[in-house]
Structures are given as structure tokens and as C-alpha cells.
Structure 1
Amino acid sequence: MSTRLLLGLALNASLDGIDAALVRVDGLGLAAVPVVERYARTPLLPAVRDALRRGTGASPRAIGEALSAAVRQLVAKNGVDLRSVLLTGLHLPAGGAFDTAAEFVVEITGVTVWSQFAARDVSAGGTGRPFTAAADYLFAKSLTEDRLLIHLGQVASLLFLPAGAKVTDLIAFDAGPGGRVLDEFVRLGTRDRELSDVGGTKAVQGKCLDAVLAEWLAHPHLGRKPPKAIAGEFGPAFVTTAFDAAREQSASLADLLCTATHFIARSVGGGCRQFVPPTGRPRGLYVSGGGVRNGFLWQLLQQQFPGENLRRTDDIGIPALGRNAVAAAVLAGLTLDGVAANLPLLTGASGGRLVGRFLPGDPRNWAAVTAWAAEQMWDYGQINRAA
């Protein structure tokens, strides 16, 4: 029987909640058909949220308990026995307390956890991004329509799936900065009294600083050919320099946020025009990430695609706010099926790899996981063929 129930967990880009998804998967490997049974976001306790946002650190136990609480709430609301879940996929930032939080999730839930997608890809020469591509492919592939998936998370990324695409036909890359830059500007501008521009309400009141925008649009990352991923290019140094320059020009925080929001939208539109080839076929545009709740960013992004309509990825079965959690579940399942899900043509790795790390659950669950893997991977030679 090739049906299994998987969980996906991810810390959301704003660092204020846990995204949890329950995914039912029928079929195997890249022929599988995943369906999101339920998705929910569970708010973090204020102490944990503030520690993460301000970089002062939260303990692995606190993070693990928050993740486990999200699991319990999700399965309880869906009337699911946790013992029926085969595997949990976990997507967290790398390093520090995050690397050991998975241990607490296993201890509390008893379900095997798969995590740390990027590490193996990076060791093979890749960037570890895009994270969601193989999972997105299973949800978004279409025989009749080209599809462009735009993710507005901490960074802004693009994934293009031509009609009838195989995984080797995908184009994906980080187009430019995303919500992290906006959040950092707000944090600096309010001296930590506020941590985000909810809905873009401050940005829409400002004016775009054209000279600053032109300088940002000349950033080398935007013109670099894929595969490419954003690491530190738009990190603290960029934010501090931009903030100080705006203050010297007597620009307001609203002006800086307005300019940065224009920059995000222009990065996405420009990246699409530069690196996504026109095909002449109908094209669907689907948006995910926290940026879908920013009305000003949505408006500016729509202007980059005249004559086309932006829609949320919910329309193709991927919760717009839970794309990473859904991907974590599906990628865990693909790895267990023996699929090299890092897609080296997109990450720049030297080849396909079985990525991630498995932490065994309780004996009953771990026996089910290993039995599944043994059945799918009896022919080791098949592992790299799919990717």
C-alpha cells in the first residue's frame, strides 16, 4: 500500500508562529500525489517569539515544545491518531538551538523526524536552496498551463514550471530580498518597539526614494545567472547602511519601507523577465509567503505583471502561509522513497543526494519507517535517476 500520512513543521518567516501541515500522499516518488488534509499556524509564546526575533536565543527545549504543541493541536483538530503518522518533516533555520530542537520533537511525539535539508546539498557544492522545489513540482505541475510560483518570505524567490514539465525543466532562484529587510528596517526605526510593518500600512504612507531604489537595483545579485541563492547579501550590513543613508537624507521610516517594498517587487519582476523564458502558453501566477498579507507589496507586484492576475498558492493546493511546512512533509516522504530531492540543477550541487537527517521515533514508528525505506530502496541504483 503506497498511501501514507506525513506531518510538516516550519517556523514562519516572521518568527512568531509554527506552521504545521498534515499531508496525505498517494503513490511513490515523483509520481506521488500529495494532498494537504489540514494546515494551521500556532502562535509562539511571547517569550520564545521575542527571544527569536531579537536574536537573544531560545532554548532547544522551548522550540521543541512549541513544535510539539503545534503537532498535538493539528492532529487533535483533525481527529487523527498520531500513531498513524509515518514521518514528520521539519524545516528550521540552521545552527544553534534549532539543530537540537528536533530531538525534543521526537521525544515528545514519538514520531521519526526528518530535518536539515540543506546540509547535505551544501556539502555537495550546492546552495541548499530552493528548499521547496521538488514538493512544489508535485502540487503545481500542469499539462496545459505554465506556472510561476512567487514566494514572499524572508527572501523573494521564483519557481517556474513549464506546462508538462519534468523536474529537469524547472527554473528556480532567489530573486531578491523579502520580508526580512522590511522587518529589520521597522525594528531599527522604532528601536525595537515594533518588529514588522503589518499589512504594509507604514510603507504605503511613504514615498519611493528613486535614487536609492536605482542604487539597489544595480546590486550584483539581481543580474547573476541562476542557480543563485541569497545568503548575506541583504543582511545586517545592507540594512544598517541603507538605514543610515536614509536618515542622512532626512527620509522617514515610511519612505524607507516604501522604497524597500518597491525593491522587492522590482526584483521579482525583473528576475522573471531576465531568467524565465516566454513560451507563448497561458501562464498562472501563484504567490505564497507572509508577503501575501502585505497589500502594498501585492499591489506593486501586480504592476510587474500587467495583464496577468496574481493568485495565492492555495488555489493549487499549497497553503500560501504554510508552503515550507507542506514542503517539509513531502520532502521527507520523497527521501524515504529513495528520491534525491535536492534537484542539483537548481541548487548547483554536483549531483542528486538523499538529503536530510532522520531521528528515530519510538520503536513501533521507527520499525515502520525503516520497513518502508527498505521496500523502496532495495535497488539503490534507482535513487539518483529521478533527479
Structure 2
Amino acid sequence: MTPCLRFVSAAILKVDGRGLNACFDVIHQLNVRTPADVRAMLEQGGAGLTNGTQLPGMVSRLVSELQVVNVERLLNSCGVSAEKVTAVGQRGPVCGREFWKQTGSATSIGDPAILAEATGLTVMDHFEQRDIAKGGSARGLDVLPMWLLLTKAVDSISARPKIVVRLDHSIELFYLPARRKNRPIPPIAYRQLGPGFALLQQLQTLCDTQPITQPVSAASVADLLGQLKLEEVAADSPHQVQTVCDAIVQQMPELLASSVVLNHSLETFWADSIHQAIDQHFPRSPEFAEMIVLGRGARREKLVQQIADKFPGVTVTTDVQRGWISGAVGASIAAILATLHVDQVSGNLPDLTGATAARVLGRITPGNPGNWRGVLGQMELAARQTMPLREAI
């Protein structure tokens, strides 16, 4: 389970098989809207975390209590007893990248002890920290679970890759090759294009104060954002996003003429950037079979159509068309990271994160004795199985 700033989302996954041969199916999903006061605290950087004035203890408790409510509602609504759940993967919103400059990573908001105590389930969280401990940046950590979620292990060599476009707080691209049974992980590509809706929301607050109504050309917007090196801006860094906003106000105030102008200009820029990045950085052969658009951008039909127009002949689908609610993919990724920990499979790809070695990710907070014994039993069973040398930890 994982919350974005708007929702606290949870999903129950059915897992068939183990490790890289496992098949994951989302069988139940649910989200709870984040209360306005909690969301305001998160948007302000976790009650002072960004400037180091105080630790986000209150925010962690509030988010964790929402997660408890979500887990209980989800189990009750689908009739699944807690005894049948192996573990909970917990990921919260991130805040405070400036405060944590020594690692280059933000801290995750949420208290696993509250979730474990209330539900009796073993909780696994802090997936990023083990990668950071080995010198990684933890960026691109969702690549492997995304690949496992959206591809099926097959024997055929004719299966084609997929492209995933996640248009949300930030814009991320995933190249997911076909998954073959009992084979090592093939090359998976990942590209981050900088802040998406994190930048749009910040700029929308400035639109009403700008009376200029001059038209804006797509080329000029692309040139300016290219000069600002938007790809290097972290969406969870309020300072970096604010710096970009200040530069736009000074150099291109006409972009803020109205909310309509701003949305149209950024959507055009996003579609062009996505096409250019895929063309330049992802393998061209074999041709990819499908493009999947996730996140808030998937709910903008014009934006999805703009992206589809850039790739004629390619099937473009969204999480809405697949029946996934807001946040279900993020919650599923957290669950898969927890499953990889139980199966003792490394969850990071050093070539993407920059870590010096692959590691089993996550920190464990035991649930009640019965659930904890079940988790230990599965981890012991996984440890007895033979793994390829490149995956052994």
C-alpha cells in the first residue's frame, strides 16, 4: 500500500510462483482520500522536514492511521481474512530532499509499527534505504516491480516489450522487455523527465495574477524548459520546483496568462518530450507491443491522444481502461517489493540506481506471532532454493 498526496491507496495481490517467475494479479483495490489538513502538511514538506526544523512524527502517525483504516476496509470489503495475507508493503509520500542532502534521497512518511500493531500483519517498508546504503540514489527503484506487474513469465521468445508512461507528480518512462521463465533479468530501461503535475500545480497558483494574454509557441516553451534542465529537477524537492517556477515567471510570463494556456502548453511539451526520450534512449527493436499510461495524466483524454498520435500503430491503454483506481499501481509496487523480500530476491537494479551491488530491499516490522512465523517459514523456504549467482546476496 502507498499514499500519494491525494489518496491513501491499497491493493491485494494474488501471487502465483516465486521470485522472477511469479505472476501478480490485482484482485482487490481501494483508496481513501487524504484529509485536507493532512494533505496540506504533506505539501508543505512534512511539517518542517524540508528545512530541518522538526521531524514529521505527527504526519507519520496520521498517514499510518489512514493506512490502517484502508487495510481494514479493504479486507472487510473483499472478505479476505488477515490470516491469508503474508505481509504488507508500506510506502508513504516522500518529503525533505533538501534536508537529506547527504544521501540525495527524501525520507518516506509513515510508521510501520502503527500498521503492524493495528492489523497484526508483518510490515515491510524503507525499500529505498538499502539501495542508498550501497551508494545508490534509489531512483528507478520501481522498475523491477513494474516489470513483474505488467509482464507475464512465458516460454516464447516472440513476446514483445512494453512502454509505460507514468504521468503523475513526476514524469517517468519504463521500457519493459518480455519476461521469459527461468532466465536472468533482461536489460530494462528507465528515464525520468522531471516534475509533471508537481510543476503544473505550482504554476497554476500564479495564473490569476498574470494579465498577459499573448500566445505561447511550443518551441519557446521547450527551449526554456530545456535550458532549465527540467530532467534533473526532483519532483519531491520544493526548492528545485520553485526555482523553475521563478525562472518561468521572469522569462516567460505569457505562459501564465491563464490556466487553459498553461495546461495546453505543458501537455504539448510533455507529449513531445516523451516521444523524444523514447526515440533517443529506448531500444527500437523489437517494436514494442503496447504503451500504458499511468497516473493523473491517464485521466486527461487529450493528453493521452497527443501521446498516441506520436506513436501510430501502437496500442495505447491507460490504468483507467485496465480497471485500476488512482494509486492502485503504486500500492501494487509496494506489495511486490515486499514479496521480493520474502522470496529473498534483490529488488534494485544497480545499473539504474547507481548502487555498487544488488540487495534484498526492505525493513521488517513483525506482526502478531502467527503471522510472523508464517513469514519466517516462507523466507526459510526461499533461502533453500537455488538462485542464479547474479541474484545471490
CA offset digits 1:150-202 (Å, max 9, x no partner): 111211111112345652321112133322111211234469xxxxxxxxxxx
Q: Which residue of 2 aligns with 1:144?
A: 159
d(CA) in 2 for partners of 1:145, 1:83: 38
CA offset digits 1:284-318 (Å, max 9, x no partner): 11111121112332233223323323112467787
Q: Give yes or no for contact 1:209–1:255 (8 Å, CA) kept in 2.
A: no
1:177 equivalent among 188, 192, 195: 195
Q: Against the structure 1 CA distance between its residues 65 and 328, is the aligned structure 2 distance closer, same or farther, given a 3 Å change threshold?
A: same
d(CA) in 2 for partners of 1:187, 1:230: 17
Q: Which residue of 2 aligns with 1:203?
A: none
Q: Which residue of 1 aligns with 2:104?
A: none
Q: Which residue of 2 aligns with 1:195?
A: none
CA offset digits 1:231-284 (Å, max 9, x no partner): 759622112322343437773343233322222222211110110121143521
- The answer on 1:268 being equivalent to 2:286 is no
Aligned-residue sequence identity (percent) comes to 26
1:287 equivalent among 287, 293, 306: 293
- Aligned to 2:355, the other structure's residue is in SS state coil
1:109 equivalent among 104, 112, 119: 119
How many angstroms does 1:130 deviate by?
A: 1.6
Q: Could you tell which deviates more after superposition, 75-84 or 281-290? A: 281-290
Q: Could you tell which deviates more after superposition, 275-284 or 209-218? A: 209-218
- Aligned to 2:118, the other structure's residue is in SS state helix
Q: Against the structure 1 CA distance between its residues 156 and 110, is the aligned structure 2 distance closer, same or farther, given a 3 Å change threshold?
A: same
2:11 equivalent among 11, 14, 21: 21
Q: Against the structure 1 CA distance between its residues 337 and 161, is the aligned structure 2 distance closer, same or farther, given a 3 Å change threshold?
A: same
d(CA) in 2 for partners of 1:286, 1:330: 19
Q: Against the structure 1 CA distance between its residues 145 and 249, is the aligned structure 2 distance closer, same or farther, given a 3 Å change threshold?
A: closer
- The answer on 1:153 being equivalent to 2:168 is yes
Q: Which residue of 1 aligns with 2:50?
A: none
Q: Against the structure 1 CA distance between its residues 60 and 190, is the aligned structure 2 distance closer, same or farther, given a 3 Å change threshold?
A: farther
- The answer on 1:59 being equivalent to 2:68 is no
Q: Which residue of 1 aligns with 2:335?
A: 329
d(CA) in 1 for partners of 2:191, 2:121: 33
d(CA) in 1 for partners of 2:120, 2:302: 43
How many angstroms does 1:31 deviate by?
A: 0.9
d(CA) in 2 for partners of 1:264, 1:70: 33
Q: Could you tell which deviates more after superposition, 326-335 or 247-256? A: 247-256
Q: Which residue of 1 aligns with 2:130?
A: 120
1:41 equivalent among 14, 19, 31: 31
d(CA) in 2 for partners of 1:294, 1:234: 26
d(CA) in 2 for partners of 1:189, 1:102: 40
How many angstroms does 1:85 deviate by?
A: 1.0
Q: Against the structure 1 CA distance between its residues 54 and 295, is the aligned structure 2 distance closer, same or farther, given a 3 Å change threshold?
A: farther
Q: Against the structure 1 CA distance between its residues 305 and 234, is the aligned structure 2 distance closer, same or farther, given a 3 Å change threshold?
A: farther
Q: Give yes or no for contact 1:63–1:98 (8 Å, CA) kept in 2.
A: no
Q: CA RMSD in A?
A: 3.0
- The answer on 1:73 being equivalent to 2:62 is no
Within-5 A mapping of 1:170-209: 170-189=188-207, 208=217
TM-score by length of 1: 0.82
d(CA) in 1 for partners of 2:46, 2:288: 48
- The answer on 1:213 being equivalent to 2:205 is no
d(CA) in 2 for partners of 1:343, 1:318: 26
Q: Against the structure 1 CA distance between its residues 383 and 188, is the aligned structure 2 distance closer, same or farther, given a 3 Å change threshold?
A: farther
d(CA) in 1 for partners of 2:392, 2:163: 22
d(CA) in 1 for partners of 2:135, 2:116: 30
CA offset digits 1:15-59 (Å, max 9, x no partner): 121111000111111111111111122112232223323446353
d(CA) in 2 for partners of 1:98, 1:250: 33
Q: Which residue of 2 aligns with 1:201?
A: none
Q: Give yes or no for contact 2:121–2:367 (8 Å, CA) kept in 1.
A: yes
Q: Which residue of 1 aligns with 2:141?
A: 131
Q: Against the structure 1 CA distance between its residues 329 and 56, is the aligned structure 2 distance closer, same or farther, given a 3 Å change threshold?
A: closer
Q: Against the structure 1 CA distance between its residues 21 and 250, is the aligned structure 2 distance closer, same or farther, given a 3 Å change threshold?
A: closer
Q: Against the structure 1 CA distance between its residues 248 and 145, is the aligned structure 2 distance closer, same or farther, given a 3 Å change threshold?
A: closer
CA offset digits 1:51-76 (Å, max 9, x no partner): 32344635322111101111111111
- The answer on 1:242 being equivalent to 2:232 is no
d(CA) in 1 for partners of 2:274, 2:299: 17
Q: Against the structure 1 CA distance between its residues 229 and 336, is the aligned structure 2 distance closer, same or farther, given a 3 Å change threshold?
A: farther
d(CA) in 2 for partners of 1:77, 1:87: 18
Aligned length, in residue pairs: 359
Instruction: Identify unmatched segments of 5+ residues in structure 1.
Output: 1-8, 192-205
